[in-house]
Chain A
Amino acid sequence: MSATSDFRRAFVLAAALWPAFVGSAAGQIQWTDENLDQQVFNRGGGPVRNAASARKELDRSLLLIIQEIDRVCKLTEAQKKKLQLAGRGDIKRFFDQYEVVKQKFQRLKPRLQGDNWQEAWQELWQDISPLQMNLQSGLFHEDSLLRKSLRHTLTTEQLPRYQAQAEERRRFHHRATIELAINSFEEAMPLRDAQRQELIALLLKELKPPRKSGRYEVYIVNVQMSLLPDDKLKPMFDRAQWKMVRAYLDMYKGNVQWLKQSGQWPDDDDDVDAPPADAKPAAKRAN
């Protein structure tokens, strides 16, 4: 079974559960714009967000990111404006995609209210899902316009400072994810502390952080761990443990393709903050 068909099944499940949370009365599912917003802007319950409130929050997030870069790099007003422009481009790109889905939703509404609504829902879900995932993993990830523009906006003095700060943050996140993944693993197979520390050290050395943050980070750690050669992992477990470890990791094998397709898999040459070959002189970029 391919990862694609696995996900098709997941979509079917989502479709099956859909009527449970869209309002329904007297056998008729109520499909409203709020239902769509609830799906796209969902962030784990709480007050339902809509496009306007999500936009406001994204603006604030952009502001916080620029503030943080400014704290480290002491940006000029021109640089701040450039970064704001790039960040707004990311937000616009997201809302453009949302508008496309919204239009599709309007087009599909008659079908969604008909007997074969599952089919229409599945069609819609394929567009909602990446949108939802994008928002949840954050718009200002390594491939965003904002991050890419940094290379052309910061001076040669500022860029290393930003890189050091970004690297420190990435390492902190990566370590936390690895420790969390090991804790999850220990629900299946407890480790001695010495083993735990050895495993953390190995994973920190061998695994790369994902390209996008979000809810699949632990999953990505497990998939990467499943691809490590046995001779790196096996020596740290005893015979009985190793059998469990291998069985556990084997469940994660074969999901690389999907992670690559969704842009989450860390690339081999993952150094997005590296200065471009055509770097402009510092003074020019600062203005």
Chain B
Amino acid sequence: MSCIRARMFFAVAAFALLPYLAVPAADSMPAQDAPRKVVEKPEQKAADKKPASPDKAAQPAKSISIVVVPAKAAKPAEKKAAAPAKKAPPAPEKPADQNEAFAQQFEGQFGKQFQHLYRTELHLLRVVCKLTKPQYQKVAAEGEPALKATKQKFLDTWRNQQQGKWDRSGKGQADPRETLSAELEKALQKTLTPEQAAAYKKERDLRTAAQRRAVVKTLIVMMDRHLVLSAEQRDKLHEILDKNWNDSWYTYVVRFGGYYFPAMPDAKILPILNEDQKAIWNGIPKANIFYGFNGLYGLVGDIGEFEETWDDDVPAKPVQPTPEKKADKKSKQPSNKAEKK
């Protein structure tokens, strides 16, 4: 657990330095800060990301540059041929290999997190749709393409980032759970009954609404900290943000813990501010952090694997209990009332 805490604090430190690590948005990115192009293999990245010691730092760096791996046109036929070339002299990298390497690296780094995402979402589906164990197993099998599609979307985003092709539209900051649940809804169209599908859809909509409420409120709080808004201004702002909702706000606000501002509808906001508030608001940086995809919420991987439990689950290593132990064990078994709820 202490290791987990250490990791958490590392994340806090990294978070503090985020402005310097993230890619500035297009409008705030001066030409001299444009990404440097460095040809490298994906597996070299980890080593190269280590900060250079002062005596080794050879290149001037005004801010951290994003490492760019030049993209090459993929030729599927070369994929197999390149694999056994272990003893051959180093040849120019095959693009297909590179894509494969990215996919493998992505799976190694984030595969478990996506599995967790999938299992927990299936659990929600199970509870909401009141699935029996066989139904659940069917849904879990038929939902696999949804997991695959979700991973593919984030793999594409991540690979582009690794290659320096950052999408500054905000799409790269999509919410993985929302993406997965949308894919699941599609994949399970024929598996779920109309009632079950409707129940899941309703729950998804309620979640989206809750997210939106939380984000809008957080944005108002963030503004209030700077601008000391009146209650009336907060109400107006609520209306403005709700009407001008932007999907990218969710990840922006949740990921950054309600600290950095995304792009805001200033044309609508400024008229409700007084002159002093306007002066402060105009000086606050907005949308100058671009996080992209760098794994799911930092802590997901640390809380262990999600295990679906059923009333008829048999313990993995059944011990032959004595009659006395048997009775004792029965009394200690967790209640499954909540499960049935």
Contact = CB atoms under 8 A, between A and B. Distances in A.
A104 interface: no
B221 A239 contact: no
Contacts of B3: 1
A108 interface: no
Contact of A183 (B5, B214, B220, B259): B214
Chain B interface mostly helix, strand, loop or mixed? helix
A61 B124 contact: no
B20 A242 contact: no
| A9, A21, A183, A237: residue with the most chain B Cβ atoms closer than 10 Å | A183
Interface stretch (A80-88, A165-173, A260-268, A272-280): A165-173
A28 interface: yes
Given A17-B20, A20-B64, A43 B299 contact: no
Interface string A240-274: 11111001101100110000000000000000000
Given A6-B6, A19-B51, A251-B4, A187 B57 contact: no
A184 interface: yes
A44 B288 contact: yes
A193 interface: yes
Interface stretch (A91-99, A155-163, A214-222): A214-222
Contacts of A57: 280, 283
Interface string A218-242: 1100000000000000110111111
Given A23-B61, A188-B297, A188-B303, A251 B1 contact: yes
B239 to A, nearest CB: 15
Given A251-B302, A254-B5, A190 B339 contact: no
A2 B223 CA distance: 35
B56 interface: yes
Interface residues of A, number: 86
A61 B283 CA distance: 12
Contacts of A218: 257-258
B276 A138 contact: no
Contacts of A42: 19
A219 B53 CA distance: 33
A251 B301 CA distance: 12
Contact of A68 (B64, B177, B228): B228
B336 A239 contact: yes
B92 interface: no
B227 interface: yes
Nearest to B64: A20
A202 interface: no
B285 interface: yes
B80 to A, nearest CB: 38
Interface string B1-22: 1111110111011111111111
| B15, B220, B221, B286: residue with the most chain A Cβ atoms closer than 10 Å | B221
A238 B60 contact: no
B141 interface: no
Contacts of B210: 179, 182-183, 193, 196
Contact of B218 (A44, A180, A192, A240): A180
Contacts, number: 250
Interface residues of B, number: 100
Given A24-B57, A251-B8, A176 B218 contact: yes
Contacts of A183: 210-211, 214-215, 250, 254
Interface string B297-322: 10110111011110000000000000
A251 B299 contact: yes
A1 B64 CA distance: 31
Interface in B9-44: 9-10, 12-22, 24, 28
B225 A213 contact: yes
A64 B280 contact: yes
A255 B5 contact: yes
Given A192-B124, A251-B1, A168 B231 contact: yes
A238 B341 contact: yes
A218 B256 CA distance: 10
B182 interface: no
A26 interface: yes
6 interchain residue pairs of minimum CB distance: A46-B285, A10-B13, A187-B297, A176-B217, A179-B214, A1-B2
B221 A44 contact: no
B24 A45 contact: yes
